[in-house]
Amino acid sequence: MKEYPFWLKFTGALVALTFLGVLLSYGKFILMPLAFSALFAILLTPLSARLERWRLGRAGAIIIAMLIVTVALSGILSLFTWQFVQFAEDLPQVLQRLKEIGASILRFADSSLGIAPEEQTGFLRQGLDSLIDRSGEYVTGLVNTTTNLFTTLGLMPVFVFCLLYYRDMYETFLTNIVDKKDRSQVDVLIEEIQRVVQNYLVGLVIVILILAVLNSVGLLIVGINNAIFFGVFAAFMAIIPYVGIIIGGVPPLLYALFLTDSLLYPVGVLAVFVVVQFLEGNIISPRVIGSKVSINPFIAIIALMIGGQVWGVSGMILFVPLLGVLRAVFEEIPSMRPVGYLLGNKIEYEKRR
């Protein structure tokens, strides 16, 4: 095989990355729901295959598998909605507390900073005018986000069904586009991708359940109202790798600051999430999900930033596990193993001779 010079390979890699960035940016309307659908399709493949062995037919097996997942997700959503309704009962108290804090800030500005109430009113009016001027941008962003969400949710069932129904065709296509001598390697790659994605998604569900229990129990011990709502919310935020559980810990921390009379409560909430974050990062996720899809934190942070910039929250959810899948694929290709090593979290240095 001809060995190309380094500068040519480096230039080719830059061109490929540029093309990939453009494709991800302008093709997100189809690639984003397709990526979510592919993950769910791989997750449902074992269940669908088992139902097929019961002579239900491929289409019937897929529909039943999707219904089972839909019922499970609906149950979880109902439980979360019930907890949110209970939390909503405390909203008037939260608003009243915010008013009191706002009045305290205004009095502090008047007495300590020498800002007269008239000047404070002027500052507030300027801020309100600025908010109104930019409200169009916020509304447009909210509408776009909502539209993208409903579009994704509407397309996903169709995509998942098609990916599962024609999965043999896709595997045959991949094996036929390579040389016969490499077909066994393609089969290994397909099995490895399925195994990695299935292990990751199942492990992620288990991690979320464990975190929901730990968060809720910890907040109950601290004495925070609506502990189950906050605990489950923070657990679901763990879908966003590394930073999700931190984001999920902000609402209960603010709730403890606003609606409790002692600083022990927010300190207790902070301690709960610090402990849970430590357990999740060092014990729970490594043991449940494993190291096969683990990405080193530096690469993960870059993936989160790029994913958030390109696809928003969906990109922050998808890009890290997709990199984990790519890492598993690269480790099966001899020429790409250095890239797989660079993406991974195992620091194994070879001594230079």
Domain boundaries, the chain: 28-165
Cα distance between residue 204 and residue 245, in whole Å: 13
- And the tokens for 144? 């776009």
Among the residue ranges 17-31, 70-84, 134-148, the one predicted with the least confidence is 134-148
Of residues 183 and 140, the one with the higher pLDDT is 183
Instruction: Give the pLDDT band of residue 165 (cuts 50, 70, 90).
Output: very high
Lowest mean pLDDT among 31-40, 170-179, 261-270, 292-301: 292-301
Q: Which residue has the higher pLDDT, 196 or 26?
A: 26
Task: Name, in order, each residue with C-beta under 8 angstroms of 312's C-beta and a sequence gap of 6 or more.
Answer: 145, 148
What pLDDT sits at residue 249? 86
Confidence at residue 1, expressed as pLDDT on a 0 to 100 scale: 46
Residue 118, C-beta contacts closer than 8 angstroms, at least 6 positions apart: none
Q: What is the DSSP letter of 5?
A: P
What pLDDT score was predicted for residue 214? 92
- Residue 300 φ/ψ, nearest 5 degrees: -65, -40
Please give the DSSP secondary-structure letter assigned to residue 281.
I
Least confident range of 108-117, 185-194, 268-277: 108-117
Round to whole Å and give the CA distance between 130 and 124.
Answer: 10
pTM: 0.72
pLDDT grade for 353, boundaries at 50, 70 and 90:
very low
The mean pLDDT value of the chain amounts to 77
For the residues 57-86, what does the mean pLDDT come to? 83
User: Rounded CA gap, 325 and 164, in Å?
Assistant: 19
Candidates 93, 79, 95; CA nearest to 225 is 93
Position 127 scores a pLDDT of 60
Residue 36 has pLDDT above 80, yes or no: yes
Cα dist. 123→111, 128, 174, 188 in Å?
A: 17, 9, 63, 65
> Does residue 90 surpass a pLDDT of 70?
no
State yes or no: pLDDT of 138 exceeds 60: no
Q: Tell which residue, 316, 303, 300, has the closest CA to residue 240.
A: 316
